[in-house]
């Protein structure tokens, strides 16, 4: 009898303890949940509502059905912005990944003072985008810019970087390599996680540097490559600040990226419904390419311990 009473009391204490832990957990999670609901879920839900509305921020929203979607499909500026963004993404991201990997390989060499070099290459990525844009405006200046002055030293005529529709987007891609510090850091972490014993065994078997890099290093860091690729594509689809400050979409809409056109419609033309429509189109495009990358990753990404 006494044993039954003791067991019952123990179960009650355990239940109270579990209830208290669950309550504490909910209280600690509450700020995040409220922040998610207020700052993420509600704005996303409201933007879906605005797709079917005509709203200028001053008067109440007016229901217009599918007019915003129809207008977007017929808007040539949307097509131009998507082409510009696609060029920036599918040309720029591979270039950034290649340059970041090469620099990470160089910074992975055990040299005296290597930490200083790593810091130097990372610092530009934490420079405010506005400050970087102002600096690069001076670098790209066609008459007295530093870049044209350097090219002139080797006999190359001046280039109208941001004033030539053909060169403007490549100039933006070239400029964005200024901020690849995070990719370099992630690649460097991946390279340092590759077991040295694998390289030693391959060298004993007669593999040269290129063979070891191709058959050992690349497969071992393939998850890191996938991460940088996914994050790079998501980020490049959202390029805005540099184009807004440096060219405002010019010349001749050559740098009119999708987010910049979205901003124009929402905060310059006060077409919030139409801007929400463009935003959700961009969202689905990003999701589509992200899903494709993860589907294709099964063919080339190697995870340690997997059956592949």
pLDDT in tens, 50-86: 999 999 988 999 999 999 999 999 999 999 999 999 9
pLDDT in tens, 221-276: 999 999 999 999 999 999 999 999 999 998 999 999 999 999 999 999 999 999 99
Selected residue with higher pLDDT from 9 and 135: 135
Kind and range of the H or E run holding 98: helix 76-107
DSSP secondary structure letter of residue 255: T
Distance from C-alpha of 215 to C-alpha of 203, rounded to nearest angstrom:
12
What is the mean predicted confidence (pLDDT) over 4-11? 61
What pLDDT is recorded for position 307?
Answer: 57
Q: Which of 178, 159, 177 is nearest to 168 (CA)?
A: 159
DSSP secondary structure letter of residue 127: S
pLDDT in tens, 110-166: 888 889 999 999 999 998 989 999 999 999 998 888 999 999 999 889 999 999 999
Predicted model pTM: 0.88
**pLDDT-based confidence at residue 5 (cuts at 50, 70, 90):** low
User: What radius of gyration, in Å, describes the C-alpha atoms of the chain?
Assistant: 26
What pLDDT is recorded for position 283?
Answer: 95
Superfamily designation of domain 70-300: MetI-like (1.10.3720.10)
């Amino acid at each position: 009898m006494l044993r039954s009473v003791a067991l019952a009391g123990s179960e009650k204490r355990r239940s109270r303890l579990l209830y208290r832990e669950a309550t504490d957990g909910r209280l600690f999670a509450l700020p995040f949940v409220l922040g998610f609901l207020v700052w993420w879920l509600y704005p996303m839900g409201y933007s879906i509502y605005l797709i079917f509305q005509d709203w200028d921020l001053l008067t109440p929203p007016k229901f217009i059905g599918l007019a915003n979607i129809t207008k977007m499909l017929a808007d040539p500026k949307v097509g131009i912005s998507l082409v510009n963004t696609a060029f920036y993404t599918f040309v720029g991201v591979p270039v950034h990944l290649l340059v970041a990997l090469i620099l990470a390989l160089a910074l992975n060499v055990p040299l005296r003072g290597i930490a200083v070099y790593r810091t130097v290459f990372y610092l530009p990525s934490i420079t405010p985008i506005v400050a970087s844009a102002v600096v690069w405006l001076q670098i790209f200046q066609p008459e007295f810019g530093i870049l044209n002055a350097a090219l002139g030293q080797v006999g190359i005529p001046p280039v109208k970087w941001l004033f030539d529709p053909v060169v403007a987007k490549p100039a933006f891609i070239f400029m964005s390599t200024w901020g690849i510090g995070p990719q370099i850091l992630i690649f460097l972490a991946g390279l340092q996680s590759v077991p040295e014993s694998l390289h030693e065994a391959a060298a004993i078997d007669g593999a040269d540097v290129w063979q070891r890099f191709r058959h050992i290093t690349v497969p071992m860091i393939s998850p890191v490559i996938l991460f940088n690729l996914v994050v790079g594509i998501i980020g490049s689809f959202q390029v805005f600040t540099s184009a807004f400050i440096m060219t405002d979409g010019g010349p001749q809409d050559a740098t009119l990226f999708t987010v910049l056109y979205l901003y124009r419609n929402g905060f310059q033309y006060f077409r919030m419904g139409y801007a929400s429509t463009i935003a959700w189109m961009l969202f689905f495009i990003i999701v589509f390419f992200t899903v494709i990358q993860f589907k294709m990753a099964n063919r080339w990404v190697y995870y340690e311990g997997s059956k592949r």
